[in-house]
Chains A and B, each alone.
Chain A
């Protein structure tokens, strides 16, 4: 006779199992229709299997993780630029990208955003090519070279900007807006030519060649429209939905636009995610970026190793790099730090400060030639004396 759902639940609720194993166990037991005795046996076997799969206490999880990521790392290509499935957008991949992630660089070498669009109704941005296109122009930074030719008139001491009408129309920008923007940003006399259509004349404040040439240079750096830093926006249709991909990243600004799905828009700049969405989002992003980079190279690394790395990088509430200025540089032990990089200066500083090394970690114990405190080396003998009082063999035990 099979048991009911509530019985299964009450039998399993106190088991120390992760939620997905628990769910699987309950569902399977319910579908198969087991008896109470069978269920007890199943639970016993599941627990046995689970305990066998758990990591042993004092196991060197960090070393295993380091090797498991390091070895596939040796097979990665040194220099890869790849069009990561996205039309024309260049993304750093392979080893350089992996290094970038664990180094927690402030700005990745090829920042890129994936902008999801809202899809609340059938007419919404994600299903409408026109709206999507318009949004793309709103976001992409427009500079003067995109929409005009600039000529320097040395005899008249002025800059002549000839606008392309079609390009202006496409980007939905008017000549008045451009004039406004220029006088605001450059702080000079800007006027619309009265004789020739679509022409702007810019005169420097002082009639000197230096000023004029400086102005001719500066004019190209003015962002007329869109978000500074977003060099290009590509529209792509995936299934039914349009998505924007950008070269350059500005998460906080992009999230302000109407039509952007704020819950699914993301960037490959982990530091930006940390600033906008918090440390937990950064942790998830590290895991995602690292697994994607490895997978793209055809390497499979167990996600637990990457999770360990990202947990370590974010455990202090900020994104720390694995390296001299992060995890390795903050180790408590002088010897451990000296073993990593810049040996002499660490020893010298420690000597001047009179630091004490507790010899608790792995590297420092190897250096002094003691058993490391891992595995069986971390177990201490506890003896029970005649009067039944428990005393530790030495003070550092447990």
Chain B
């Protein structure tokens, strides 16, 4: 049975690991610390698939019902 990518499922938005620089600009834009972001578990199936590690931040391009597309950020935690 071929393995399929969870990211292809219609309920799963695009997740990608953020680079340091990108993260910095986002944090300074909202003037918050990394720990204040929403969280995502490291054993979340999607995090396992993209291979993010604890402490990294993933950027999620949500299809929003109100804004068309909106970026959302989650900090990977234990």
Contacts and interface: CB of A to CB of B under 8 A. Distances in A.
B66 A278 contact: no
A281 B11 contact: yes
Interface string B18-55: 00000000000000000000111100111100000000
Nearest to B11: A281
A277 B66 CA distance: 23
A264 interface: yes
B10 A278 contact: no
A266 interface: yes
Contacts of A189: none
A262 interface: yes
Contacts of B40: 278-280, 317
A278 B6 CA distance: 9
A205 B8 CA distance: 51
B74 A277 contact: no
Interface centre among A18, A263, A276, A278 (most CB of B within 10 A): A278
A56 to B, nearest CB: 17
Contacts of A18: 64, 66-68, 70
A258 B1 contact: yes
Contact of A280 (B8, B13, B66, B67): B13
A316 B39 contact: yes
B1 A284 contact: no
Nearest to B74: A317
Given A258-B1, A315-B39, A278 B74 contact: no
A262 B46 contact: no
B70 A277 contact: no
Contacts of B68: 18-21, 23
Given A18-B67, A284-B11, A285-B11, A277 B46 contact: yes
Interface in A276-312: 276-281, 284-285, 287, 303-304, 307, 311
A284 B64 CA distance: 10
A263 B7 CA distance: 9
B12 to A, nearest CB: 5
Contacts of A304: 66
A311 B1 CA distance: 34
A317 B70 contact: no
A303 B65 contact: yes
A93 B46 CA distance: 30
A311 B40 CA distance: 12
Contact of B8 (A258, A262, A314): A262
Contacts of A280: 11-13, 15, 40, 46, 60, 62
Nearest to B42: A317
A263 B68 CA distance: 21
B66 A279 contact: no
Contacts of A281: 6, 9, 11-12, 46
B63 to A, nearest CB: 8
A285 B11 CA distance: 7
Contacts of A275: 45
Given A276-B45, A317-B39, A19 B69 contact: yes
Contact of B44 (A279, A303, A307): A279
A318 interface: yes
Interface string A232-263: 00000000000000000000000110100011
A262 B66 CA distance: 27
Interface of A: 18-21, 23, 255-256, 258, 262-264, 266, 273, 275-281, 284-285, 287, 303-304, 307, 311, 314-318
15 contacts: A18-B67, A18-B68, A20-B68, A262-B8, A264-B10, A277-B11, A277-B46, A279-B40, A279-B41, A280-B11, A280-B46, A281-B6, A285-B11, A314-B38, A317-B41
Given A18-B66, A281-B9, 8 more contacts: A19-B70, A20-B68, A20-B69, A258-B1, A278-B45, A279-B74, A280-B13, A316-B38
Interface of B: 1, 4, 6, 8-13, 15, 38-41, 44-47, 60, 62, 64-70, 74, 77
10 A-B pairs with least C-beta separation:
A20-B68, A18-B67, A278-B46, A281-B11, A19-B68, A317-B39, A315-B38, A317-B41, A262-B4, A317-B40
